[in-house]
């Protein structure tokens, strides 16, 4: 395994302990080294003694951000995704570069893809995107107090930026227009947060009216 692959596949002591509890790693070989991902083929012995092979896509991890304005509108990017052979609506996102924290990646992608800076960047959740065969961990952030900046995306990316209201987002989700997993997770988080906030406001108003 090359140095970069070792860095991508590095595991915590807890993960190593869990791995050793379920499997014994007999041999690991990197069969492909790419710009974005590596592919390793591991030969293992299961806890029951069976010999097996696991193909693992090794990814450095990424960050995605939900850019929300004070009125609740959200910015999404539309880009053609080659594997899907179609254009998708997505949150601004990208892989974590060497030496970056997820927060830095989220802020960078926000400015590069939609041309805004965040006055506040709040961590929502981190999740594995496809744990059946890939170790990518995606960090999801909420960006508020947006300020215009300079948009400068990657040369091989053709993006268009769209602004949607919460009502429009719900329709896009129900209609199946938004099918990207990170975007669905991020928007459901945002919509649930906003609805909870509005319920609290309505409850407080009702209490104030009763006291008045």
Catalytic positions, written as ranges:
155
Residue pair 150/111 in contact by the 8 Å Cβ criterion: yes
Burial of 187 (0-12, 13-18, 19+ CB in 10 A): buried
Query: H or E element: which one contains 107?
Result: helix 102-114
């Amino acid at each position: 395994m090359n140095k970069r692959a070792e860095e991508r596949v590095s595991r915590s002591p807890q993960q190593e302990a869990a791995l050793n509890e379920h499997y014994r790693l007999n041999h690991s070989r990197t069969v492909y080294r790419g710009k974005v991902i590596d592919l390793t083929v591991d030969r293992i012995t299961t806890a029951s003694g069976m010999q097996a092979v696991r193909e693992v896509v090794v990814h450095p991890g990424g960050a995605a951000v939900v850019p929300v304005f004070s009125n609740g509108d959200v910015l999404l990017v539309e880009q053609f995704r080659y594997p899907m052979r179609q254009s998708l609506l997505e949150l601004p996102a990208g892989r974590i570069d060497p030496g970056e924290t997820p927060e830095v990646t989220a802020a960078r992608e926000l400015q590069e893809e939609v041309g805004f800076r965040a006055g506040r960047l709040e961590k929502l959740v981190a999740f594995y995107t496809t744990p059946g065969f890939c170790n990518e961990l995606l960090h999801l952030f909420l960006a508020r107090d947006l300020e215009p900046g300079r948009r400068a995306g990657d040369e091989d990316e053709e993006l268009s930026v769209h602004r949607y209201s919460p009502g429009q987002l719900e329709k896009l989700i129900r209609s199946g227009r938004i099918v990207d997993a990170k975007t669905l997770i991020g928007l459901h988080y945002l919509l649930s947060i906003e609805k909870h906030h509005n319920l609290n406001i309505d409850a407080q108003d009702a209490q104030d009216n009763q006291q008045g």
